[in-house]
Amino acid sequence: MKNETITVTNTESGQSMDVVVLNKRANQITVVIGEGIHSVQCDLTPSKNGQAYVGSVMGREIVFNRSREQVQADLDHVNPALKKSRRF
């Protein structure tokens, strides 16, 4: 099984890094930064305007530059059966 990775950006330094996704939903993405015993989990939640996901790890802000609608479309593409079960 291949782990899904996404690219996040550190807002302070502008540095990009690939992180492993543990759980991905439209309202929250849980990622792991680092490897082994030095790894840290971080929850990314949609920003106020919904154009990115934002989280904080060890006092540093990280951003995943995809909108909530784009992430939901990705999830629907991977498993179309979930789209039919959602209620609005």
Determine if residue 14 is left, alpha or beta; phi over 0 gives left, psi from -120 to 50 gives alpha, anything else beta: left
pLDDT digits (tens, 9 = 90+) for 1-37: 578 999 999 999 999 999 999 999 999 999 999 989 9
* Sign, CA torsion 47/8/71/27: negative
Give the pLDDT of residue 77: 85
Q: Where are the domains of the chain?
A: 5-83
All residues at 6 or more sequence positions from 60 whose CB lies less than 8 Å from its CB, including other chains: 10, 11, 12
Rounded to two decimals, the pTM is 0.84
Report CA dihedral (1, 45, 70, 20) to the nearest 10 degrees: -20
